[in-house]
Amino acid sequence: MRKLAALVVLAAACGNQDNLIVGGVSGGATTPDVIFDDIGSSIHGIATLRDDAGNPLGDPMAIVIMSNRPGLCSTLNAKRDYFRNAPEAYEALVLIMPLGYLGTFIIGREGTDATTAAEIVAASGPQTTTPFHALNGSYIAITNWDDKGGNATGSFNVAVDDPYGSGVAHPFYGKFKTGFCPNLEGTLLP
């Protein structure tokens, strides 16, 4: 555990300061260690959540994705099920908010926030993924949203569950400044 804590502190000190994720989770049977020490892609866009058969689950949502993989927008255009059937090793934080609003969104709060969610997906190579889901009370704040080619900016403070049933919440917090990705519609999010 001390090794993981030291790596989290080290990761927080490196990288692009516009995009930062602080936190970590030790690996398990279906996921590797999750430590965002390098943000290769930070993108945002509009997408409709879909079930496993590809059927829409509601209205289009505002999506922010931060990942250690560079070129994620192009990758998602070529492989729509990237977050469900990993073709390679990666880690990604996916933030989902109602489209058309700025402000702070609380996961689990009724009203406009009811569709807000966050997940961390990590894979050690080609595999079916097991996401870590954000717990109620976590928040995502959006201060700017431009879906015409500009940036989205904001911050987050989320605690994710442990898919291995330990009952331990794992905190992640940080900030983002993303580039617009027109390829998100049709992507099967976790």
Looking at residue 8, its pLDDT comes to: 43
Q: Are 121 and 91 in contact (CB under 8 A)?
A: yes
Chain mean pLDDT for the chain: 88
Residue 14's pLDDT band, with cuts at 50, 70 and 90, is very low
Alpha-carbon distance of 158 to 136, in angstroms, equals 9
Asked whether the predicted pLDDT for residue 61 surpasses 80, the reply is yes
Per-residue pLDDT reduced to its tens digit, 101-130: 999 999 999 988 889 999 999 999 999 888
What number is the average pLDDT over the span 1-26? Answer: 62
Neighbours of 23 (CB within 10 A): 21
Under the banding of pLDDT at 50, 70 and 90, the label for residue 16 is: low
Q: Does 4 have pLDDT greater than 70?
A: no
pTM: 0.89
